[in-house]
Structure 1
Amino acid sequence: MGETTGTGGIWHGGDLGRARALFPAAPEPWIDLSTGINPIPYPLPALPLSLWQRLPAADDEAALLAAARNAYRVPAEAGIVAAPGTQILIDLLPRVVPDLIRAGPVAVLGPTYAEHALAWRKMGATVVEADTLAQAADAATVVVVNPNNPDGRLLSVSELAALAARCAARGGLLVVDEAFCDFTPEASLVPALPPATLALRSFGKTYGLAGVRLGFAIGEANLVSALRDAMGPWAVAGPALAIGVQALADAAWLAQAGAARAADAARLDALLAPRGEIIGGTALFRLLATPEAPALFAHLGGRGLYVRRFQADPTRLRFGLPGDAPGWARLEAALACFPHGG
């Protein structure tokens, strides 16, 4: 069976059309647990019709960047650019830094979000997919997802700073993808951003609004400017600018959502623990390891519950969070009747 694919045939979650094709007899409505997106989204503000009728204004983009600077605690000297999602930034980065490709190997600390390695390979880079920092020792440029997707691995700010210094000494770059860092702000490298570092931040996951398509790159001004130039004018839609401004300024909502999702993650752990080993995750998803993962995937799919499986390791499943009481009840009932040991 296949899976939702991105570039290069990489599997991604979130495609319920594919889920319905895999399990045509499953009951509706489907519960999509295959992504790491907050199932309880930020409440959308009322948007004036004019935002849909005109091109995004420079003042609107400036307001968004100011809100992002404050929310992410960006140093005054650092550059920041908004993009229609972080995926485009991942894909563009190797295109705007050909010197880094010539500087030496690019190491991606994994297993992790597979689009990072693919983006560099497409531009001819030698990519090392390293399981440990020691295996990345020879690389000039290193990519780290922190907290990691899918296992939640977390490197400390001091570890990242030392890694950035090593990359800088080799004429390389440290790329830190902080897509899942909003609920663990103490883990962010952005406030103490060292030289030769580019941080990526995703809006849609934490705020439950992935369809808005909004993300940010934060780093040295010349690199950020190159990314901005590569995207061209009006890269972010006007409605996305307005939604981002309001949501990023709402610290109270973020704190409440973080506490609620942490409680949900603990609840999910309690449901999954009898079925295998909970390797880790974040407040938005949990990773389960079990030799019965293929059978469990099929069992849940047949009951209208779509979870994330992995090409590279068929013994693992990633579970997102249900968004309401009926969703939790259906997941609990499906797990309870799984006819295999944990």
Structure 2
Amino acid sequence: MTDTSISLTKHGGKLTEASRRHGIERCNWLDLSTGINPWPYPMAPIDARSCQALPDHDQGLHAAAVRYYLGKSATPDSKRPLTLLNIPGSQWAIEALPQCFASGSVALPDTGYREHEWRWQQAGHQTLFYDADRPDKAMQHIFSANTLRAVIVVNPNNPGGQHVPPRTLRQLAGALKEKGTVLIVDEAFADATPEKSLLPDIADNIIVLRSFGKFFGLAGLRLGAVVGASQSETLQRLSSMQGPWRVTSPAQLAGMEALSDHHWQKVMRAKLQRASQQQGQWLEKRLGAHGDITRRRQSALFNGFDMTLARARQWHEALSQQAVLTRLWVVDEQCAILRFGLHDERIQTTRHLEQAMSAAGRVMEKRS
């Protein structure tokens, strides 16, 4: 467990930057650098008139979100009343939550979405790290921290794909409660496997973050949710930081529609699982032909491959030369994860990836 210096987080999806660097027009790229569903929800068109007035569909969106995330668990007569906040993307909560705690330490996975690390460091907290592959074994060492304010679990992990069972997380929350520590679970990729979510059964010291844009494929709308016990001081502080009109009219309308479309959700979950499995096997065969893979990591929205940092950089650059943008995730000085988001089923998309992998493979052979 060590401190790290504050450094800006790098993200996927920067097509304009990639286009400028490689001299390839933006429209010609295949962007596999994000974990966003390539088959977006077919939301009703948003016209100028619907955006003319200030957002006023808060109650409708809230009702749809409560049904989608909580069912009947947020009703006043439930044993543990829950509160749900609709927010402009789970990123907003990641940025705001560190400000809800007095200065102290926070435990994070050693491999995980780095905005958590960056934002807690930026807010003046000490960062401690645990093994993302074995959080249940590592937590006992973290408990010795006297000023442990929060433990962050990205579940399923991004980019690692690891999943911690809900039962394990509830046990962890119970142990943390004795220290006055909050368990924050980032479930940005949980919509494809809702049966593995902590919701709706969460303890008083658990905060759950959910993202709308990834599963529904509408990341540009900026919509998400935060769920916690109604009496949670952390959630109350977070709620007080929200200004008026925090969620735009297009996001409110799309959220109401998509969160209520249970048939589309069921069909899409099956489609994503099937597409991820097929893509992962296809990529594993082609990357493995060069002996570069040490491990394959999978979720419903991406496939990641462990390899040496040098080799991952070579693949990332060779594919970029073919207008395919992947996500290079540096683990340490020796190791990295090369992550591929899903792609749609259009013939030209499939052909683009096949040709790019073949060309990049020839480059790898020359460098071996």
Contact 1:32–1:307 (Cα < 8 Å) also in 2:
yes
CA RMSD across the alignment: 2.0
Matched, 1:166 2:166: no
Specify the alignment match of 1:217 in structure 2. 226
Residue 315 of structure 1, aligned match among 306, 330, 336: 336
Shift of 1:277: 4.0
Contact 2:19–2:26 (Cα < 8 Å) also in 1:
no
Matched, 1:329 2:351: yes
Matched, 1:243 2:265: no
Contact 1:288–1:317 (Cα < 8 Å) also in 2:
yes
Shift of 1:63: 1.4
**Alignment of structure 1 residues 280-319 onto 2, 5 Å:** 280-291=297-308, 292-313=311-332, 315-319=336-340
Shift of 1:223: 3.0
Moved over 6 A (4+): none
Matched, 1:90 2:94: yes
Distance 1:144 1:279 in 2: 21
Shift of 1:27: 8.9
Identical pairs, percent: 33
Contact 1:272–1:288 (Cα < 8 Å) also in 2:
no
Specify the alignment match of 1:121 in structure 2. 121
**Alignment of structure 1 residues 20-39 onto 2, 5 Å:** 20-25=19-24, 29-39=28-38
Q: Which runs of 5+ in 2 are unaligned?
A: 1-5, 75-80, 288-292
Matched, 1:73 2:70: yes
Contact 1:96–1:230 (Cα < 8 Å) also in 2:
no
Specify the alignment match of 2:44 in structure 1. 45
Q: Which runs of 5+ in 1 are unaligned?
A: 1-6
Matched, 1:109 2:109: yes
Q: TM-score, normalised by structure 2?
A: 0.85
Contact 1:161–1:194 (Cα < 8 Å) also in 2:
yes
Q: TM-score, normalised by structure 1?
A: 0.91
Shift of 1:238: 1.4
Secondary structure of 2:45's counterpart equals coil
Distance 1:167 1:116 in 2: 19
Contact 2:15–2:26 (Cα < 8 Å) also in 1:
no
Contact 2:34–2:327 (Cα < 8 Å) also in 1:
yes
* Amino acid in the other structure paired with 1:63: G
Matched, 1:198 2:219: no
Shift of 1:290: 2.7
**Alignment of structure 1 residues 142-181 onto 2, 5 Å:** 142-181=151-190
Specify the alignment match of 1:4 in structure 2. none
Distance 2:178 2:321 in 1: 53
Shift of 1:89: 0.5
Shift of 1:22: 2.9
Aligned residues: 330
Secondary structure of 1:195's counterpart equals coil
Bigger mean CA offset, 132-141 vs 89-98: 132-141
Per-residue CA deviations over 1:269-297 (Å, capped at 9, x if unaligned) read 12211312442121110001233222211
* Amino acid in the other structure paired with 1:119: R
Shift of 1:208: 0.6
Distance 2:356 2:282 in 1: 10
